[in-house]
Amino acid sequence: MTPALLLWTLSVPARADVALEPDPGTRFLTHALRIEGLDAHPGYVVLAYDAGAELSTWRAFHAGAPASQELGWGGANRGPRMGAPGLHLLPRAAYDAWLAQTTATIQAQETACAERGEGCMHISRFVPSFPPPVGAVSCGLSLQVQGAGPEDGPDRVEEVLRLEAASDSTCSLARVGQELSREGKPVAAGSGARCDLVGGAASLLAGAGLLLGLGRRRRSGPPGRADGATAG
pLDDT digits (tens, 9 = 90+) for 107-120: 999 999 999 888 88
Mean pLDDT of all residues in the chain? Answer: 77
Quote the distance between the C-alpha of residue 101 and its chain's center: 20
CB 6 within 8 A of CB 110: yes
Closest to 55 in 3D by CA, of 101, 123, 22, 12: 101
H or E element in which residue 157 lies = strand 156-166
Of 143-147, 193-197, 219-223, give the lowest mean pLDDT range. 219-223
Task: Please report the pLDDT score of residue 203 as a whole number.
Answer: 33
Share of the chain above pLDDT 90, in %: 49
Task: Please report the pLDDT score of residue 196 as a whole number.
Answer: 54
CB 148 within 8 A of CB 23: yes
> Is residue 189 over pLDDT 60?
yes
Task: Please report the pLDDT score of residue 172 as a whole number.
Answer: 98
Of 33-42, 103-112, 152-161, give the lowest mean pLDDT range. 152-161
- Give the predicted TM-score (pTM) of the model: 0.75
Q: How far apart are CA 85 and CA 51, in angstroms?
A: 7
